């Protein structure tokens, strides 16, 4: 075909999308609970995003950061106003935002004349597929064949504060974790764990870096998932996926002390923060910064988990064991192999995603309504009854 065969796509070719639905080239309609892996936050072909992209496309696509880009200033100001951040760096993907954050950690301590450089990360994590990103995870699935991986990353058990305490030493510079592990199986960090992580970081003068590429931008019912713990004061947060609503876009959010060390020339991106991406991001923010919109995410997500617990899991005790998650980031715990269940749902025109620990990942568009939840539950029951 000419395409590097690093993917294993379904034998479904998508023609177009509308809201929470995707349509294949043969006209089949699918209820999309993948959102392109948590990306199409406002669903498919959202009129506001389409118009924003068209309007900007008529004016200017690209000029690089050789020039001031007004859209960057507008989007950055809105993010800063509604988060812990003092500054924002725009890039093109989640992996790039993570890479930028790792550079900031090292730059910060170097600027202080410190030799701290180690970053503590969590086992079962996923931060992207660039060299630093796979090195943070340490997963053989990601690193095999690519040795030597980068030094300076140490993995600890997620949600295990004792293990974290043991690994902190004089060379430790930062703690970097996903607020909710996505690829690893939809595993939220415990609130008490996060509070204790904050204390360890403060006591040891470490930077606190959260990867919210998948769980940020409204996915959990807060703009940032770190907001669920009021005491939490991040230094760095990576976002991507949902902030572009489907347009390739990532960002690193920095507090004042970390942003102060990143001087001109310290980092950059040719395409990062381009006018098209900024036009779309500004429209996405109109929704994900609105408290009523976030309330709906929390309510619909809660109701979906409740219905899964009451209507689906008890019916299929040999297939399913439980549900976990927060907002519209939901994991269905499987006894039967998750791929078998996912394929059964595809036959009923419901699309979901695999995750680690034999979990089905449910990441619907954030515009989801309860009627769509009811439709999904019906499709699941029919799918699982066929097994």
Q: Can you give the CATH number for the domain in which 250 is found? A: 3.40.640.10
- With b for 16 or more beta-carbon neighbours within 10 A and e for fewer, the 220-254 pattern comes to bbbbbbbbbbeebebbbbbbbbbbbbbbbbbbbbb
- This prediction has a pTM of 0.97
Of the three residues 288, 317, 333, the one that is the final residue of a domain is 288
**pLDDT tens across 44-80, in order?**
999 999 999 999 999 999 999 999 999 999 999 999 9
Q: Measuring CA to CA, how many Å separate 358 from each of 248, 325, 336?
A: 29, 15, 8
Neighbours of 67 (CB within 10 A): 8
Domain count, the chain: 2
**Cβ proximity of 225 and 164 under 8 Å:** no
Domain contains 130: yes
- 88 and 190, same domain (yes or no): yes
Cis omega before residue 343 (within 30°)? no
- 299 and 278, same domain (yes or no): no
**pLDDT tens across 246-278, in order?**
999 999 999 999 999 999 999 999 999 999 999
Neighbours of 154 (CB within 10 A): 16
Domain contains 8: no
**pLDDT tens across 310-337, in order?**
999 999 999 999 999 999 999 999 999 9
pLDDT at 155: 97
**What is the torsional sign of CA 274, 280, 286, 287?**
negative
- 188 and 222, same domain (yes or no): yes
Close Cβ partners of 371 (under 8 Å, ≥ 6 residues apart)? none
Of the three residues 264, 288, 312, the one that is the final residue of a domain is 288
- 75 and 101, same domain (yes or no): yes
**Cβ proximity of 184 and 125 under 8 Å:** yes
- 298 and 278, same domain (yes or no): no
- 20 and 103, same domain (yes or no): no
Domain contains 320: yes
Q: Which domain holds residue 377?
A: 14-32+291-385
* Nearest-angstrom CA–CA distance, 254 and 88: 6
Domain contains 117: yes
Mean per-residue pLDDT of the chain: 97
Q: Which two tokens stand for residue 207?
A: 């930077």
pLDDT at 138: 84
pLDDT at 201: 98
- 222 and 304, same domain (yes or no): no
Place of tokens 């949902």: 242
Domain contains 4: no
- 273 and 315, same domain (yes or no): no
- 323 and 378, same domain (yes or no): yes
- 259 and 302, same domain (yes or no): no
Of the three residues 240, 268, 288, the one that is the final residue of a domain is 288
- 159 and 283, same domain (yes or no): yes
Domain contains 368: yes
CATH of the domain at 365: 3.90.1150.10
Domain contains 204: yes
Segment holding 29, helix H or strand E: strand 29-32
* Nearest-angstrom CA–CA distance, 209 and 121: 10
Neighbours of 62 (CB within 10 A): 11
Domain contains 276: yes
Q: Measuring CA to CA, how many Å separate 9 from each of 12, 13, 31, 333?
A: 8, 9, 18, 23
Spell out where 170-270 has E strands. Answer: 172-178, 180-181, 187-188, 207-211, 236-239, 250-254
Low-confidence ranges of the chain (pLDDT < 50): none
Neighbours of 167 (CB within 10 A): 15
**What is the torsional sign of CA 182, 184, 189, 190?**
positive
Neighbours of 4 (CB within 10 A): 6
- 101 and 212, same domain (yes or no): yes
Q: Give the pairing of strands 87-91 and 250-254.
A: antiparallel
**Cβ proximity of 96 and 126 under 8 Å:** no
């Amino acid at each position: 075909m000419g395409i590097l065969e690093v993917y294993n796509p379904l034998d479904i070719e998508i023609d177009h999308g509308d809201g929470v639905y995707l349509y294949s080239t043969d006209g089949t309609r699918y209820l999309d609970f993948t959102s392109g892996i948590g990306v199409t936050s406002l669903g498919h072909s959202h009129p506001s995003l389409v118009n924003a992209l068209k309007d900007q496309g008529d004016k200017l696509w690209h000029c690089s950061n050789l020039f001031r880009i007004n859209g960057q200033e507008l989007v950055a100001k809105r993010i800063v106003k509604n988060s812990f951040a003092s500054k924002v760096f725009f890039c093109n993907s989640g992996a790039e935002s993570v890479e930028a954050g790792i550079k900031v950690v090292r730059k910060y301590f170097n600027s202080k004349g410190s030799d701290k450089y180690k970053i503590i990360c969590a086992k079962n994590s996923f931060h992207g597929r660039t060299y630093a990103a796979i090195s943070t995870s340490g997963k053989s699935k990601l690193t095999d064949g690519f040795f030597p991986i980068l030094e300076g990353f140490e993995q600890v058990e997620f949600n295990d504060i004792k293990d974290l305490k043991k690994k902190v030493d004089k060379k430790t510079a930062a703690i970097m974790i996903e607020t909710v592990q996505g690829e690893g199986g939809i595993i939220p960090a415990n609130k008490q764990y996060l509070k204790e992580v904050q204390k360890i970081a403060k006591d040891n003068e470490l930077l606190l870096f959260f990867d919210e590429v998948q769980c940020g931008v409204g996915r959990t019912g807060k703009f940032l998932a770190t907001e669920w713990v009021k005491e939490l004061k991040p230094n760095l947060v990576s976002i991507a996926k949902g902030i572009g609503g489907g347009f390739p876009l990532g960002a690193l959010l920095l507090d004042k002390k970390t942003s102060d060390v990143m001087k001109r020339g310290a980092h950059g991106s040719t395409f990062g923060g381009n006018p098209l991406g900024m036009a779309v991001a500004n429209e996405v923010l109109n929704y994900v910064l609105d408290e009523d919109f976030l309330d709906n995410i929390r309510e619909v997500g809660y109701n979906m988990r409740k219905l899964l617990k009451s209507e689906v899991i008890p019916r299929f005790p040999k297939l399913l064991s439980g549900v976990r998650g927060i907002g519209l980031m939901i994991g269905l715990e499987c006894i039967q192999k998750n791929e078998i269940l996912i394929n059964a749902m595809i036959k009923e025109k419901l699309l979901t995603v695999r995750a680690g620990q034999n979990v089905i990942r449910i990441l619907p568009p954030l515009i989801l309504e309860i009627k769509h939840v009811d439709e999904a539950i019906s499709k699941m029951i029919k799918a699982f009854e066929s097994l």
